[in-house]
């Protein structure tokens, strides 16, 4: 297991933190904590509030600027452009005051329309359903998991050790870990709901697993969830599940940004 922990290097942590900040900022916009035209609090304040470095915060804001959510004005600050963000779709025709989103931002929005849907289902709806199901299944597994469930999960965790050499095996192992966690609940309806989500998860895994740091990051969360189950630590397990699933939106933003801002991202 030490190999997995060592695999979560600084680069992986940085990627995860940037995605987490993007997700946090989008949630703050959706909840109405900022109004269109508002100046976002300073880097110093937000870095302290989020517990991240200023460089991580700048990377997150650059993603949000590329998407037309904020405007970064040198010497002035960062300002909110969108007063009604419906992740993953942004409304560009509301006639908001202030700066208009660039054509490049609209292009990224178009890419998101493709990346953040599975068929006709919004990825955000899938992620909400999946998180609720996995949280409920984890709580049930704390009471109902049998020794055989723990053994099967431990085998999957052990298979993660070689993923740095064989990353293409990740989709199968990732899916199996989450399936076994659902089975450990011993709730037949939860298993049925999981079957409904299966096609969406398979597509989502294939879309993101090749991103830098994705495999090691996911494996580290699997370890946290498994350890929480073994220790019967409800709080830690729920926290790990929330953070694990919560990074998916940020990673999809990374994919879209890379399509249209590759040179800019490389220069950073």
Which domains, and CATH codes, for the chain? 9-112 (1.10.10.10), 121-256 (1.20.120.530)
261 vs 120, higher pLDDT: 120
Q: What does the pLDDT average to over 16-27?
A: 75
Q: 10 Å Cβ neighbour count for 24?
A: 17
134 vs 267, higher pLDDT: 134
39: three-class secondary structure by DSSP: strand
Q: Write out pLDDT tens, residues 146-158.
A: 999 999 999 999 9
Return all residues near 257 (Cβ < 8 A) that are at least 6 apart: 63, 66, 67, 108, 265
Query: What is the reported pLDDT for 64?
Result: 79
Return all residues near 141 (Cβ < 8 A) that are at least 6 apart: 149, 181, 184, 185, 186, 229
Q: How confident is the model at residue 139 (pLDDT cuts 50, 70, 90)?
A: very high
Q: Write out pLDDT tens, residues 40-49.
A: 888 888 888 8
Whole-prediction pTM: 0.60
HSE of 108 in the Cβ direction (CA atoms, 13 Å)? 24
């Amino acid at each position: 297991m030490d190999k997995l922990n060592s695999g979560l290097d600084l680069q992986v942590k940085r990627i995860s933190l940037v995605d987490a900040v993007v997700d946090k900022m989008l949630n703050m916009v959706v909840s109405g904590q900022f109004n269109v035209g508002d100046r976002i609090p300073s880097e110093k304040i937000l870095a302290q509030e989020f517990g991240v470095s200023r460089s991580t915060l700048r990377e997150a804001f650059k993603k949000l600027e590329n998407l037309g959510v904020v405007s970064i004005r040198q010497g002035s600050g960062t300002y909110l452009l969108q007063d009604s963000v419906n992740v993953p779709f942004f409304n560009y025709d509301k006639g908001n005051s202030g700066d208009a989103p660039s054509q490049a931002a609209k292009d990224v929005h178009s890419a998101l329309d493709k990346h953040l849907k599975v068929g006709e289902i919004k990825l955000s709806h899938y992620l909400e359903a999946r998180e609720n199901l996995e949280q409920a299944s984890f709580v049930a597994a704390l009471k109902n998991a049998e020794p055989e469930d723990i053994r099967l999960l431990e085998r999957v965790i052990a298979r993660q050790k070689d993923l740095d050499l064989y990353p293409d095996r990740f989709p199968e192992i990732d899916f199996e870990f989450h399936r076994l966690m659902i089975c450990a609940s011993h709730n037949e309806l939860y298993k049925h709901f999981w079957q409904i989500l299966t096609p969406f998860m398979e597509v989502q895994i294939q879309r993101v697993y090749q991103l830098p740091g994705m495999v090691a990051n996911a494996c580290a969360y699997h370890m946290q969830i498994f350890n929480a189950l073994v220790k019967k630590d409800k709080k830690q397990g729920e926290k790990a599940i929330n953070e694990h699933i919560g990074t998916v939106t940020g990673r999809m933003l990374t994919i879209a940004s890379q399509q249209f801002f590759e040179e800019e991202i490389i220069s950073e």
